[in-house]
Amino acid sequence: MDDPAEAAEYDAMDHREVNSRFVADLLHFCPGCHGPVLDLGAGTGLIPLLLEKALPGSCVVAVDAAQSMLRLACAHARSQKAFPDFLRARAQSLPCADGAFSLVVSNSLIHHVPDPWSVLSEAWRALAPGGWIFMRDLARPDDLGELENLVALHATGESATARRLFADSLHAALTLDEVRASVARLGAPPATVWANSDRHWTWCCRKPWLQGVH
């Protein structure tokens, strides 16, 4: 989403409730989590700003591949006098060492990339042993009828562009079973992935100190 108009359209949507719930759930399901924190697909930077407040003293690195999104993220940070480290990079190929972060998070990134496995595996690589990973994304509906029902239910009142983006995102998303199969390849328990709404899955897992020990 590196088109300035689409980035602005996305930024104009009200994400406050969704973002606040994401951070609240993160703190609930990942007890004792702390920085350094890596946020993949940080978009316009609203979740990194919440993370800075929720985890005081933690260094927050916010990654996105879209310059237009990061430009808006920097503007939000300046207005709040906050200082996440915004970095333009692809989540499929992160410029960091193995195990560089104690907490890796992502909200609604996976459905944007053509090879979701590359993002999941890179996130797991960047996570330190004993650290927490907390990801949430859309889940692909079983059929077109269910997809249309979800758009009608959750995007009523949004612009035509916003409804189209939501429908496209649902269509591009992984199913719950596909996510579980992917995390199992990494050595994480499939049960650490669950459906948290009629249109979302969450993956929350603590990386074992020794691979293969959960």
Residues 79, 153 within the same domain:
no
d(CA 56, CA 95): 24
Residues 98 and 155 in one domain: no
CA distances from 92 to 142, 152, 206 (A): 27, 32, 21
CB 58 within 8 A of CB 49: no
Do 164 and 182 have their domain in common? no
**Do 59 and 121 have their domain in common?**
yes
In a shared domain, residues 167 and 180: no
Binned at pLDDT 50, 70 and 90, residue 213 comes out as very low
**What's residue 22's pLDDT?**
96
Encode the chain in three state secondary structure: CCCHHHHHHHHHCCCHHHHHHHHHHHHHHCCCCCCCEEEECCCCCHHHHHHHHHCCCCCEEEEECCHHHHHHHHHHHHHHCCCCEEEECCCCCCCCCCCCEEEEEEECCHHHCCCHHHHHHHHHHHEEEEEEEEEEEEECCCCHHHHHHHHHHHCCCCCHHHHHHHHHHHHHCECHHHHHHHHHHHCCCHHHEEECCCCEEEEEEECCCCCCCC
- Clarify whether residues 114 and 78 are in a common domain: yes
Higher pLDDT residue, 57 or 171? 171
93 lies in some domain:
yes
**Alpha-carbon dihedral sign for residues 204, 39, 168, 92:** negative
Taking 50 as the threshold, does the pLDDT of residue 214 lie above it?
Answer: no
Q: Is residue 213 part of a domain?
A: no
Counted domains in the chain = 2
pLDDT tens-digit map of 80-103: 877 788 889 999 999 999 999 999
pLDDT at res. 24: 96
> Cis (ω within 30 of 0) for the bond into 189?
no
Provide the 10 A C-beta neighbour count for residue 21.
14
What's the CA gap between 33 and 3, in Å, rounded? 34
Q: Where is pLDDT greater, at 2 or 173?
A: 173
Q: Examine residue 212 and state whether it is found in any structural domain, yes or no.
A: no
Q: Which residues pair with 85 in a beta bridge?
A: 61
- 211 assigned to some structural domain: no
Residues 202, 148 within the same domain:
no
201 part of a folded domain: yes
What's the pLDDT at 62? 92
Whole-angstrom Cα distance, residue 86 to residue 176?
30
Q: Does residue 126 sit in the same domain as residue 154?
A: no
Measure the CA–CA gap between 202 and 42, rounded to whole angstroms. 17
Greater confidence, 61 or 1? Answer: 61
Task: Examine residue 18 and state whether it is found in any structural domain, yes or no.
Answer: yes
Kindly indicate the confidence band of residue 157, based on its pLDDT and cuts at 50, 70 and 90.
confident
CA distance 56 to 193: 28
Q: Do 90 and 160 share a domain, yes or no?
A: no
At 77, which CATH number? Answer: 3.40.50.150
Same domain, 99 and 199: yes
User: C-alpha angle 104/166/41, rounded to 5°?
Assistant: 20
Q: Do 125 and 47 have their domain in common?
A: yes
Answer whether residue 214 is part of any domain. no
Interior CA angle at 70 toward 170 and 8, to 5°?
60
Residues 91, 57: one domain? yes
Q: What is the mean pLDDT of residues 158-180?
A: 91
Classify residue 20: in a domain, yes or no: yes
Range of the domain at 161: 141-173
